[in-house]
Amino acid sequence: MPNIKSAKKRVVVTEKKNSQNKMIKTSVKTAIKKFNAALAAGDAEAAEKLLPETVSVIDSAASKGILHKNNAANKKSALAKNLNALKANPKAAVQEEVKAEEAKEAETAAPVAEAPVEAKPKKTRAKKTEKAE
C-alpha cells in the first residue's frame, strides 16, 4: 500500500478507471452478442435494427480510447458484412454459422488423447578414478 498521498490517489483513480473501462468493454461485447444472436436466428429485420445501436456503442468506446479506432472500424465492418451476407442469402448464411459452431463444439468436446511418454533409461555416470598417492 502506498504511503505518499499522490500515490494513494493514483490507486483510487486507477481502480475507478478500470471499472469504468470494464463496464464499457462488456457493453460492447453484449451489443455484439445481441446482434450476432439476431443473425444466427436468421432475423434480418431485428439485426438491421440492432446494427446502428451496436455501431453507436462501438464508436463511443473508440472515442473514449477503450478501443483503438482501427479495431472499432474492423468490428463495425464485420457486423455490416455479416448482415449483408444474411440479406443476400439468408439460408446459406445461417447454415454456415451453424456448421462453424458445430465444428467449434466438436473441437472442444473431443479432447486430444496424448501419446504415452516412454520412460527414458537413466544414464549411468562414469566412475571417477582414484588418484594414486
pLDDT in tens, 81-109: 999 999 888 776 666 666 777 777 777 76
pLDDT in tens, 56-78: 999 999 999 999 999 999 999 99
DSSP class of 110: S
What percent of the chain has pLDDT above 70? 84
- pTM over the 0.85 mark: no
* pLDDT-based confidence at residue 124 (cuts at 50, 70, 90): confident
Structural domains in the chain, CATH included, are: 5-102 (1.20.58.110)
The dihedral formed by the CA atoms of 104, 108, 109 and 113, expressed in degrees to the nearest 10: 130
